[in-house]
Amino acid sequence: MNRTAETARKTAETDIFASLNLDGTGKAKLDYPIGFMTHMLTAFAKHGLFDIELCASGDLEVDQHHLIEDTGITLGQCFAKALGEKRGIRRVGSCLYPMDETLARAAADISGRPFLVCSAALSGVPLISAPVPGRTDAAPAHFQTDTVEDFWQGFVSAALITLHLDILRGRSDHHKIEALFKAAARALREAAEIDERTDGSIPSTKGTLAGPLGIIV
């Protein structure tokens, strides 16, 4: 089974290309102008064992919201395409992820019903980081932490996935965000895995996990 997909998204605000292999080895090839998100997406690929290629640019002179939300949408569209009819998948996955003083929890249902609960307990203070080498359009050397929820909202809306993200305890915003990305990756990896005992059936009493019709803009 070849569970791969690619998506291009171009608007007046952003220009993004993404490709995904659900059954990869965790490789990330990223050309992205926000350093902290590059770090998060690399961790997401590694812990999900997803192979991800991503090239993106956007109107960072406005702020980081448009690019980060659209990145979530584009990556979510790749997930939806790669999953196809969702035959044989486990459908549900969860992870309790400890990162030093932080404990994060993620629970995912590849249900066809997009819904996000995100309780990240972030301070709202931007994270300071170094500029991205070689990117003349790189974002200012900070990360807007409020865009974390924007990313996941875009992702679940396009991927048609229910996702609950919670920080149970923690101090560092960096650790909280990173632990959530790693927990989400492992929950999604488990949910997307093929369960041989299902013999290729769709894991729903409805007989379908198709989502609502519509176009994510």
pLDDT score of 43: 98
pLDDT score of 57: 96
Collapse the DSSP code of 69 into the 3-class scheme (helix H, G, I; strand E, B; otherwise coil) and give the result: helix
CB-CB contact of 39 with 51 (8 Å): no
pLDDT score of 213: 57
With tokens 């770090």, the residue in question is 39
Beta bridge partners of 118: 165
Q: pLDDT 10s digit of each residue in the chain, 217 long?
A: 789 999 999 999 999 999 999 999 999 999 999 999 999 999 999 999 999 999 999 999 999 999 999 999 999 999 999 999 999 899 999 999 999 999 999 999 999 999 999 999 999 999 987 667 776 666 556 899 999 999 999 999 999 999 999 999 999 999 999 999 999 999 999 999 999 988 887 777 677 778 765 555 5
pLDDT score of 141: 67
CB-CB contact of 49 with 26 (8 Å): yes
Strands (E), the chain: 4-10, 14-21, 28-31, 51-58, 92-99, 102-109, 115-119, 127-128, 142-143, 162-169
pLDDT score of 86: 92
Q: What domains appear along the chain, each with residue ranges and CATH number?
A: 4-196 (3.30.230.40)
- Give the count of alpha carbons within 13 A of 77, CB side only: 18
For the entire predicted model, the pTM comes to 0.92
pLDDT score of 202: 75
Q: What is the rounded distance in angstroms from the CA atom of residue 137 to the CA atom of residue 89?
A: 40
